[in-house]
């Protein structure tokens, strides 16, 4: 099943543009759930550029679906995660100068710092996930570090300049996904996915979760957040059936 985790960071980004109290990302989370989201994702950054501690606390109390907290291995943030105990923690890279998370975490390079964090989070009963690029070493090392899941960075697919490059990126994702599953990991996907590019990847019906943010928050400006989530859910639900139907008609 193609589950949808809605990343609501950009709701907080709009609020912070004015250092005001609206729009409230906690209200946004409720709207997403009413629209059929299977989970809510937020990133508590060290610089608190969008989400703040108040938001994290309130989301923990109010989200009724799966709460997925993205974080770096910064000790201060890990401490907050251990106290909050969201359903899942996704470890991501974090650079102050980036606009958003721009690539996967280098689990191979940083495994000595990552492994103890995974251990602590798992001991607190939190599902652990690593946001990594679709690369064999990254996938194998994530399993070796004790993660329960990986979220494959879909930026290569989303930003592919042409159909051939997009197909190659999709093949790379599928290879990494199969390897991840063989290593016993649950496999998620995210970054740069939109209403326009979601169908081919959703049609695979192989990823257990998609984490999607910017396109949904952008669409919400015109149709409202609840409807924007419903539209994405429809695409995610329809794509595998559509693909099966197409395959069926091709074989007759
Ligand atoms: N997954 C992760 C780990 C992210 O950091 C982000 C935000 O960059 C997303 C998914 C959502 O990406 P987007 O906003 O491009 O949909």
Structural contact between residues 246 and 42, judged by C-beta atoms closer than 8 angstroms: no
Helix (H) or strand (E) holding 42: strand 39-43
Ligand 1 near 213 CB (within 6 A): yes
Q: Ligand 1 centre and the CA of 13: distance in Å? A: 14
**Closest-CA residue to 204 (of 251, 165, 249, 169):** 169
Any idea how long the chain is? Answer: 252
Structural contact between residues 37 and 236, judged by C-beta atoms closer than 8 angstroms: no
Please provide residue 41's backbone torsions phi and psi, each rounded to the nearest 5 degrees: -120, 140
pLDDT score of 252:
47
Q: Ligand 1 centre and the CA of 190: distance in Å? A: 6
* For ligand 1, atom 3: residue with the closest CA: 131
**Closest-CA residue to 70 (of 169, 166, 163, 190):** 190
**Closest-CA residue to 185 (of 157, 156, 211, 209):** 209
Task: Give average pLDDT by consecutive 10-residue segment, the chain, 252 residues.
Answer: 95 96 98 98 94 97 98 97 98 78 89 97 98 98 98 97 97 97 98 97 95 98 98 93 70 48
Ligand 1 near 151 CB (within 6 A): yes
Q: CA–CA separation, 98 vs 95, rounded Å?
A: 6
Q: Token pair for residue 178?
A: 């199969």
Catalytic residues: 43, 70, 191
Helix (H) or strand (E) holding 240: helix 225-251
Ligand 1 near 214 CB (within 6 A): yes
Ligand 1 near 94 CB (within 6 A): no
Q: CA–CA separation, 252 vs 240, rounded Å?
A: 19
Q: CA–CA separation, 147 vs 129, rounded Å?
A: 6
Structural contact between residues 188 and 151, judged by C-beta atoms closer than 8 angstroms: yes
What number does the ligand 1 atom closest to the CA of 5 have? 10
């Amino acid at each position: 099943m193609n589950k949808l985790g809605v990343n609501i960071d950009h709701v907080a980004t709009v609020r912070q543009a004015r250092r005001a109290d609206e729009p409230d990302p906690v209200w946004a989370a409720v709207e997403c759930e009413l629209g059929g989201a299977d989970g809510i994702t937020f990133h508590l950054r060290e610089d608190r550029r969008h989400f703040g501690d108040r938001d994290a606390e309130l989301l923990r109390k109010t989200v009724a679906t799966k709460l997925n907290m993205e974080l770096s291995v910064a000790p201060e943030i890990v401490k907050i995660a251990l106290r909050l105990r969201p359903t899942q923690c996704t470890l991501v890279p974090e650079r102050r100068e980036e606009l958003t998370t721009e690539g996967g975490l280098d689990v191979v390079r940083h495994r000595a710092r990552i492994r103890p964090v995974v251990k602590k989070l798992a001991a607190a009963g939190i599902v652990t996930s690593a946001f990594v690029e679709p690369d064999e070493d990254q996938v194998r090392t994530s399993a070796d570090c004790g993660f329960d899941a990986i979220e494959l960075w879909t930026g290569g697919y989303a930003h592919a300049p042409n159909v051939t490059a997009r197909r190659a990126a999709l093949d790379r994702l599928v290879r990494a996904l199969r390897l991840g599953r063989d290593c016993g990991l649950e496999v998620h996907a995210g970054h740069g996915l939109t209403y326009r590019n979601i169908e081919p990847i959703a049609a695979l019906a192989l990823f257990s979760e998609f984490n999607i943010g910017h396109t949904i928050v952008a669409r919400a400006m015109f149709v409202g957040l609840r409807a924007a989530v419903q539209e994405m859910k429809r695409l995610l639900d329809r794509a595998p059936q559509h693909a099966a139907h197409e395959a069926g008609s091709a074989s007759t």
